[in-house]
Amino acid sequence: MKFLFDLFPVILFFAMFKWGEGNPEAAQSLAQQYLAGFTSGAATTAQAPIMLATAIAILATFAQIGYLLLRGRKVDGMLWVSLAIITVFGGATIYFNNETFIKWKPTVLYWCFGAALLVAQTVFGKNLIRMMMEKQVALPDPVWQRLNLSWAGFFGAMGLVNLYVAYSFPTAFWVNFKLFGFTGLMIAFVIAQSVFLSKHVKDPQ
């Protein structure tokens, strides 16, 4: 359930873009009705789908945090970072009628995550992956360090992949990849990490 909760803004982003892509005139009318006060110019039929999708993703991220706060649950730092980045880059896409900003959002987010892992380990001597997982699994110290570095490297690579797809393919392809491609890569990486960890888990006996 948490996995789907985390994907909630991405799923809505995808669904709204697909709707707008299939209904360009209606999407343009909707964008003019609700986003006119936030843009520097009127949205065209080509721009409307990505602008509406971006607006929905921003609202969905606010809704995620609001839901957690209302339930008295802790909001992960990553979610706060995600909110800040999508608000800035998504807001720029809406204001300037320019999809480039929202296309950079995943890269900036992934690189922030990767940088946080590296800085915490090298500068402050804290292994963030270990802090999140050590209650569920016991591993030797060197393995925790490699695990932390591998996640940092993975996030760095994901940022580069996003830029490659964003600048090499049409926006519709990037939107599809944002949901299915990144989700598939994440699942594949987690599976690979699980296989790796199974060889190093400490025997409680």
Residue length, the chain?
A: 205
Residue 125: left (phi > 0), alpha (psi -120 to 50), or beta?
A: left
Which pLDDT band holds residue 200 (cuts at 50, 70, 90)? low
Residue 131 has pLDDT above 60, yes or no: yes
pLDDT the model gives residue 204? 46
pLDDT the model gives residue 5? 84
- At 36-88, the pLDDT tens digits run 899 988 888 999 999 999 999 999 999 999 999 999 999 988 899 999 999 99
- At 75-128, the pLDDT tens digits run 988 899 999 999 999 999 999 999 999 999 999 999 999 999 999 999 998 999
Q: Answer whether 8's CB lies under 8 Å from 79's CB.
A: no
Question: Token digits for 114?
Answer: 């990767």
Which has more confidence, 41 or 200?
41
Q: Which of 80, 143, 148 is nearest to 117 (CA)?
A: 148
State the sign of the Cα–Cα–Cα–Cα dihedral 62, 65, 69, 75.
negative
Which pLDDT band holds residue 165 (cuts at 50, 70, 90)? very high
Which has more confidence, 91 or 198?
91
Question: For the whole model, what pTM was predicted?
Answer: 0.90
Which pLDDT band holds residue 1 (cuts at 50, 70, 90)? low
For the chain, the domains span 1-97, 99-205
Cα angle at 13 between 89 and 74, to 5 degrees? 75
Which has more confidence, 99 or 140?
99
Which has more confidence, 196 or 44?
44
